[in-house]
Amino acid sequence: MEVLSKFLTGTMNSVTSKCMFFLVTVLILRALLFPSFLGFDGIEWSNLVYIRTPLLNFDFGIRQDKFLVVPQIVWGLNNQKIAFARASLTARMLNRTLLMPSLSASLFYKEIDLLQPISFDKIFQFDKFNALCNGFVRLGRYSDVSNRTEVLEMEKGSGRRWTVERDLSQLKEHGKGSLDDHEVIRIVGKNPFLWHDHWPVKDYARIFECLDLTEEIAKEVDRVVSRIRAVGGKITRNTEAAEMQNSITSDGPSFKPLPYVAVHMRIEIDWMIHCKNLERRLNTNQICSGKKEIVERVRNIGGLKTPVVVYLAVADKLLNNSSILEGWEEGFLPFEKKKLGVDGIYKKYPYLIQSAIDYEVCLRADTFVGNSFSTFSSLIALERTQKMIRMNATNLCGENVRWPSYAYNIPGTSNGPMRWVTNMSESSLQAISYGTNHISC
Ligand SMILES: *[C@@H]1O[C@H](CO)[C@@H](O)[C@H](O)[C@H]1NC(C)=O
Ligand SMILES: *[C@@H]1O[C@H](CO)[C@@H](O)[C@H](O)[C@H]1NC(C)=O
Ligand SMILES: *[C@@H]1O[C@H](CO)[C@@H](O)[C@H](O)[C@H]1NC(C)=O
Ligand SMILES: *[C@@H]1O[C@H](CO)[C@@H](O)[C@H](O)[C@H]1NC(C)=O
Ligand SMILES: *[C@@H]1O[C@H](CO)[C@@H](O)[C@H](O)[C@H]1NC(C)=O
Ligand SMILES: *[C@@H]1O[C@H](CO)[C@@H](O)[C@H](O)[C@H]1NC(C)=O
């Protein structure tokens, strides 16, 4: 306890040393109370590393006394994630701490009253974000600002004459001289999703990696995923006799999470109207896939072991339309929230959190199949690609890689869906934000 008492008697007037004190106390208490925790659980260990990094290493690479404020972030979860990343990268360019922005819990956006602002840290872990993105971007709280009287407003231009170049030179101007002296710069104008993009895809990927759901939401994801794996377990137990041989010769009937396929099905009427227009405009027929085509392509995924559970991530509007569960071939066991019995979990939450849970369920799926013209699907493919890269996968498009993704709107081999990875060398997120059929594999 010597370290502890040293901290107790030391001066405690700065936030810094308070944080240090708190951290050291927590570490010592944890070590005393749970002497074995470092040994048996890798997750605990990595949490510890995450917590320690920012507090002991105060050099964030980003100034902590200059701040950026951005307009409320709105629309769908995917739009909000992109907008948040864009706001973070703007703050990085200005070498400023981004004051934690407001997200929107609801999808309504025509009437301001219905926007339901929700703080970033109600969805994602604030401290973990800073720990993981340490040195790259930094989030701050409004209480960090010392003088709120002197805020410089920076008006984002709009319209056709507001080009990417003009936008960039405005940013550069605000990063130097007397404009940069202001403690707070507030950007006014449209929501960040609509700002010009100046950053490569890999920078976005880096920000998305730092977004970890709050513990409460992550627990709900665990419940949904274990429910999916549990129904898979029930089904495959019937075919287990055939596999007994295998399990005996390997390491016995050991616990192995049962794989599942997640399919992000976009077949609602309003999507169909939108995508038909898009197909006409882009002169293609590879955007709108109906249910029949999706089922057919998923069935033809090469090397997929059946029976397999297929989790259908669908818009709420379709939840009570049981026809999406029909027409699947033998060996493909479709489930949506209701049939899984998890709709109660979702119903507790507003739109944004429901969507965040579904997103994570798709992210963790052993196989993901989506529509390359959906931003939601595209972001999932991007994050899964990033996960593969982190695992040092060499041939991202090859057979037998972990976490493969597919686009059902584009035909691949043997009338299956096209394999899909995000090209991390692209110089902007443009393609992902608005859909594409160039999907790299
Ligand atoms: C931000 O400014 C600090 C201090 O001037 C500097 O050390 C750091 O490299 C800058 N970071 C970026 C990302 O430009
Ligand atoms: C905040 O800034 C304004 C304008 O520069 C100044 O007049 C005021 O004294 C400052 N307040 C504090 C508490 O520093
Ligand atoms: C589905 O739910 C919506 C709204 O909850 C309702 O208007 C519609 O009639 C329902 N359709 C079916 C087929 O149950
Ligand atoms: C259910 O979905 C099918 C196929 O998407 C559609 O034809 C049918 O009209 C829908 N039924 C209801 C009640 O919405
Ligand atoms: C990937 O490779 C790097 C560099 O060789 C290594 O440090 C890292 O541990 C590897 N990661 C995994 C998950 O194998
Ligand atoms: C990835 O993007 C880079 C930059 O736009 C391009 O040169 C390259 O050909 C792309 N790779 C694939 C596989 O599409």
pLDDT digits (tens, 9 = 90+) for 197-209: 999 999 999 999 9
Find the Cα–Cα–Cα–Cα dihedral 298, 299, 300, 306, rounded to 10°. 110
Q: List ligand 5's pocket residues with C-beta within 6 A.
A: 391-392
- Is the shortest distance between the CB of 158 and ligand 3 below 6 Å? no
The residue whose C-alpha atom lies closest to atom 6 belonging to ligand 1 is: 61
pTM here? Answer: 0.82
Atom number of ligand 4 nearest to Cα 267: 5
CB count in 10 Å sphere of residue 116: 16
Indicate if ligand 6 lies below 6 Å from the C-beta of 440: yes
Phi, psi angles (nearest 5°) of residue 173: -60, -40
Looking at all shown ligands, the one closest to residue 390's CA atom is: 5
The three-state secondary structure class of 367 is: strand
- Residue whose Cα lies nearest atom 13 of ligand 4: it is 321
Distance CA 216, CA 123 (A): 9
Tell me, in angstroms, the distance from the centre of ligand 5 to residue 363's CA: 21
From the CA of 290, the nearest ligand is 4
Ligand 3 pocket: which of 320, 337, 343, 346 to mutate (most atoms within 8 A of CB): 320
Q: Which atom of ligand 3 is nearest to the CA of 322?
A: 13
Rounded distance between C-alpha atoms, residue 324 and residue 317, angstroms: 12
Query: pLDDT of 238-272, one tens digit each?
Result: 665 445 444 444 444 445 668 999 999 998 888 88
**HSE, side-chain direction, 13 A CA sphere, residue 246:** 6
pLDDT of residue 247: 46
Report the alpha-carbon distance of residue 94 to residue 88 in Å, rounded.
Answer: 10
The rounded Å distance from CA 147 to ligand 2 centre is 6
Of 392, 394, 401, 402, which is best to mutate to test ligand 5, by the most ligand atoms within 8 angstroms of its C-beta? 392
Strand 405-411 with 417-419, pairing? antiparallel
Tell me how far the alpha carbon of residue 323 lies from the centroid of ligand 4, in angstroms: 7
Give, using CA atoms, the residue closest to atom 11 of ligand 2: 147
Instruction: Kindly state if the Cβ of 180 falls inside 6 Å of ligand 1.
Output: no
For residue 278, the model assigns a pLDDT of 92
Q: Where are the beta strands (DSSP E) in 297-349?
A: 308-314, 332-335
Nearest-CA residue for ligand 3 atom 8 is: 320
Residues near ligand 2 (Cβ within 6 A): 147, 149-150
pLDDT of residue 110: 58
Cα(351) to ligand 4 centroid in Å equals 23
Residue 200 CA to ligand 6 centre (angstroms)? 12
Residue-level pLDDT at 112: 61
409-435 per-residue burial string, b: 16 or more CB within 10 A, e: under 16: bbbbeeebbbbbbbbbebebbebbbeb
Q: One digit per residue, pLDDT tens: the chain, 441 residues? A: 444 344 434 444 444 444 444 444 444 444 444 433 333 333 333 333 333 344 444 555 899 999 999 999 999 999 999 999 999 999 999 999 999 999 999 886 555 666 789 999 999 999 999 999 999 999 999 999 987 778 999 999 988 999 999 999 999 999 999 999 999 999 999 999 999 999 999 999 999 999 999 999 999 999 999 999 999 887 766 665 445 444 444 444 445 668 999 999 998 888 889 999 999 999 999 999 999 999 999 999 999 998 999 999 987 666 667 789 999 999 999 999 999 999 999 999 999 999 999 999 999 999 999 999 999 999 999 999 999 999 998 899 988 899 999 999 999 999 999 999 999 999 999 878 888 888 888
Closest C-alpha among 158, 414, 408 to residue 275: 408
Return d(Cα 336, Cα 265) in angstroms, integer.
11
Ligand 1 site, residue 62, Cβ cutoff 6 A: yes
Name the residue of 199, 426, 427, 429 to mutate for ligand 6: max ligand atoms within 8 A of Cβ: 426
Question: Tell me, what's the pLDDT at 12?
Answer: 42
pLDDT of the residue at 41: 31
